Chain A
């Protein structure tokens, strides 16, 4: 599946959508496919400061438990509470209803360290 062009990506299969200084973060469709049915998502609390590429949570599927890494630094401003009751939203709509958190970015220059859609696709093709 082609990657949405307007997003940036990490090697660890997270996506990030930038809107001013607010970043919305989730995991890619490729990630949800490899994980299988997701049963639980553990996310950081609103107000927490997180550092780029740090481990900020856990995604648990019927097959495996995986760490979640943040593509950008900043303060968590919002958490997708829907995922508590319906973690399968990540499987159904990884780039939409399955978003994880919103972060107020502290350093916009960090996006230079992220991958474009084409770069991320190349990584998966390897």
Chain B
């Protein structure tokens, strides 16, 4: 057998299976391409896979068995909110009227879809205390960039173009400084205090007339609530800056506290985390951006505009008596940030989730997420260090620094050993301020039995490490792929299949 570009994998790629003419062709091809395509658009060689239907079904079924997702097992990946996504929300997104709607459908014929966008926008605004949301950005980092573009445009309108500093605490999300740099701002990193929080005294040292935005995550990546948030916001506002709320951890406070009430001017939500949308593995997300009243006119285009429908039946619900249209005429807008109307099916999922839970249900969601995290924190604290050991919100950070000193077993090794026991690993080595850190976020959808099973597995791994570190250092032994050569993967990524004969380029 000739060597394959995927030698390290147990299964061949779809390109490496099948044979010329193998594909099932139900439809006879029509006229030869030459008769209607210009010659310059034709090529002799196009190495597409040529597989039978059965081969294709087996290939992807095999791959699906080898992956790990929330449908397979417990997935406590910190700051990622890997909660269960109820199937009813997918069913709503799959309704033919939603699924088959063409993005260029005239507004008059897409009133239902526009109403979904309108109701989602209104729901998010009221849940998080913002004046308005844009549903356009695709995910968290995209939303951060969009919000910073809004801030930039706002300061330009005010003639304050010298505001070029963005303040990012060391407990913020890793994408925050990257988004700020991408948007042309200078990043000031802010150390957290002994309690793992942003201190008013520290932030006041860096505030000035060059302050543009302070980006915060609340609760922060240690899972701790920034209890001084109102005074911090007041200090940032006093120098003319804006407060940005990174919604990555919104599952901790949904229905219980609102960023708008804390003094935030801009925020984003990850609908795929806090609401419902299968994620993990890089699938399409959804990251609406919310703003306070003074920033509404800068939101990306289009926005859903509405007016009362005079012909509507007065017995209908209020939002059923409106006429909707997409409004592109917004002179101060930062403009479109992505094609068409973003990941519309996700908007349907999120609205379905909101209506299925109701206001009380959503409040309960975050309360149970916090309860589960605290249960796990106390249990795991019995055998690992918890550097900031106080009631947490939806997630918490443990440290393997002590274990490493005694046994040589690191956070990475604990994570690998968990894979052998059928659990997804927690987030490791983030936030950077805790050495050998493991960040756990159980979410509200896990039962006590699942949490107890996980604690027992992790306890057993730590006990094994104390007795026989080599056994843990050898993990994982049950997975399809063992330890990855991360250095080689980072230096020589091999991301593209190439036809045989074409040299693999470094």
Other-chain contact of A40, B429, B435, B491 (Cβ < 8 Å): B491
B486→A62 contact, CB < 8 A: yes
Question: What distance in Å separates the Cβ of A120 from its nearest Cβ neighbour in chain B?
Answer: 17
B429→A63 contact, CB < 8 A: yes
Is there a chain A Cβ closer than 8 Å to B41's Cβ? no
Is there a chain A Cβ closer than 8 Å to B456's Cβ? no
Complex contacts, B293 vs chain A, CB 8 Å: none
- Chain A positions 38 through 81: 1 when the CB is less than 8 Å from some CB of chain B, otherwise 0: 01100000000000000000001011100000000000000000
A37→B486 contact, CB < 8 A: yes
A64→B486 contact, CB < 8 A: no
Complex contacts, A63 vs chain B, CB 8 Å: 429
Cα-based distance from A60 to B487 in the complex (angstroms): 10
Is there a chain A Cβ closer than 8 Å to B490's Cβ? yes
Is there a chain A Cβ closer than 8 Å to B471's Cβ? no
B435→A34 contact, CB < 8 A: yes
Complex contacts, A36 vs chain B, CB 8 Å: 429
Is there a chain A Cβ closer than 8 Å to B432's Cβ? yes
B490→A64 contact, CB < 8 A: no
B432→A62 contact, CB < 8 A: no
Complex contacts, B486 vs chain A, CB 8 Å: 37, 62
Complex contacts, B487 vs chain A, CB 8 Å: 37, 39, 62, 88
Question: What distance in Å separates the Cβ of A4 from its nearest Cβ neighbour in chain B?
Answer: 23
Nearest B-chain residue to A60, judged by Cβ: B490
A64→B429 contact, CB < 8 A: yes
Number of interface residues of A (CB under 8 A): 11
Cα-based distance from A37 to B483 in the complex (angstroms): 14
B429→A39 contact, CB < 8 A: no
Nearest B-chain residue to A62, judged by Cβ: B486
Cα-based distance from A34 to B432 in the complex (angstroms): 10
Nearest B-chain residue to A38, judged by Cβ: B487
Nearest B-chain residue to A85, judged by Cβ: B491
Cα-based distance from A9 to B487 in the complex (angstroms): 27
Nearest B-chain residue to A67, judged by Cβ: B189
Cα-based distance from A12 to B491 in the complex (angstroms): 25
Complex contacts, A34 vs chain B, CB 8 Å: 435
- Chain B positions 464 through 487: 1 when the CB is less than 8 Å from some CB of chain A, otherwise 0: 000000000000000000000011
Complex contacts, B435 vs chain A, CB 8 Å: 34
A64→B432 contact, CB < 8 A: yes
Nearest B-chain residue to A36, judged by Cβ: B429
Cα-based distance from A37 to B412 in the complex (angstroms): 13
Cα-based distance from A88 to B485 in the complex (angstroms): 13
Cα-based distance from A37 to B491 in the complex (angstroms): 11
Complex contacts, A64 vs chain B, CB 8 Å: 429, 432
- Chain A positions 79 through 94: 1 when the CB is less than 8 Å from some CB of chain B, otherwise 0: 0000000011000000
Nearest A-chain residue to B490, judged by Cβ: A39
Nearest A-chain residue to B489, judged by Cβ: A62
Identify the interface centre among A40, A62, A64: most chain B CB within 10 Å of its CB. A62
- Chain B positions 427 through 439: 1 when the CB is less than 8 Å from some CB of chain A, otherwise 0: 0010010010000
Identify the interface centre among A39, A64, A87: most chain B CB within 10 Å of its CB. A39
Cα-based distance from A37 to B484 in the complex (angstroms): 13
Complex contacts, B432 vs chain A, CB 8 Å: 64
Cα-based distance from A116 to B486 in the complex (angstroms): 35
Cα-based distance from A10 to B294 in the complex (angstroms): 44
- Chain A positions 11 through 55: 1 when the CB is less than 8 Å from some CB of chain B, otherwise 0: 000000000000000000000001011011000000000000000
Complex contacts, A37 vs chain B, CB 8 Å: 486-487
Cα-based distance from A88 to B435 in the complex (angstroms): 21
Question: What distance in Å separates the Cβ of B484 from its nearest Cβ neighbour in chain A?
Answer: 9
Complex contacts, A39 vs chain B, CB 8 Å: 487, 490-491
Cα-based distance from A88 to B491 in the complex (angstroms): 11
Cα-based distance from A88 to B490 in the complex (angstroms): 12
Within 8 A of A (CB), among B480-506: 486-487, 490-491
18 residue pairs from A and B, CB less than 8 Å apart: A34-B435, A36-B429, A37-B486, A37-B487, A39-B487, A39-B490, A39-B491, A40-B490, A40-B491, A60-B490, A62-B486, A62-B487, A62-B490, A63-B429, A64-B429, A64-B432, A87-B491, A88-B487
Contact residues of B with A, CB < 8 Å?
A: 429, 432, 435, 486-487, 490-491
Contact residues of A with B, CB < 8 Å?
A: 34, 36-37, 39-40, 60, 62-64, 87-88
